[in-house]
Amino acid sequence: MTGTSWTAATPWRGIMVATTLPFRGDLTVDYDAYAEHVRRLIDNGCDGVVPNGSLGEYQTLTDEERARVVRTAVEAA
C-alpha cells in the first residue's frame, strides 16, 4: 500500500477498534448500550469499529444476534 488514500484493495485505514459487546444481567445483548459505545468511539476519533471481532462473544451469539450487532454498529456509526 502506498500513501494513505483509500482504495477497494486497501479499505482499512486509521483507527479500527474491535468492540466489546455489553450484556445484560440475563445474558442477553444490550444493543442500546452497544450503540452508545460505538457512537462514543466514533465521536472520539476512531475511524471505524469491528463488530463481532475476536474478543470471544461471537461464538456465543446466534446468527440473528450476530446480524443485529452489525446492524446496530452501522446505524450507530
Number of independent structural domains in the chain: 1
Spatial contact of 70 and 52, defined as CB atoms under 8 Å apart: yes
pLDDT tens digits, 16-43 = 999 999 999 999 999 999 999 999 999 9
Compute the distance between CA of residue 13 and CA of residue 28 in angstroms, rounded to an integer.
32
Residue 70 placed within a domain: yes
Q: What pTM, to 2 d.p., does this model score?
A: 0.81
Backbone angles phi, psi at 34, to 5 degrees: -65, -45
pLDDT tens digits, 39-60 = 999 999 999 999 987 667 888 8
Residue 39 placed within a domain: yes
Residue 2 placed within a domain: no
Range of the domain at 21: 16-76
Q: Is the pLDDT of residue 73 over 60?
A: yes
27-32, Cβ contacts within 8 angstroms, sequence gap of 24 or more: 29/61, 29/65, 29/68, 29/69, 31/68, 31/69, 31/72
> What is residue 10's predicted lDDT score, i.e. its pLDDT?
66
> What is residue 30's predicted lDDT score, i.e. its pLDDT?
98
Radius of gyration of the chain (CA): 14
Q: Is the pLDDT of residue 7 over 80?
A: no
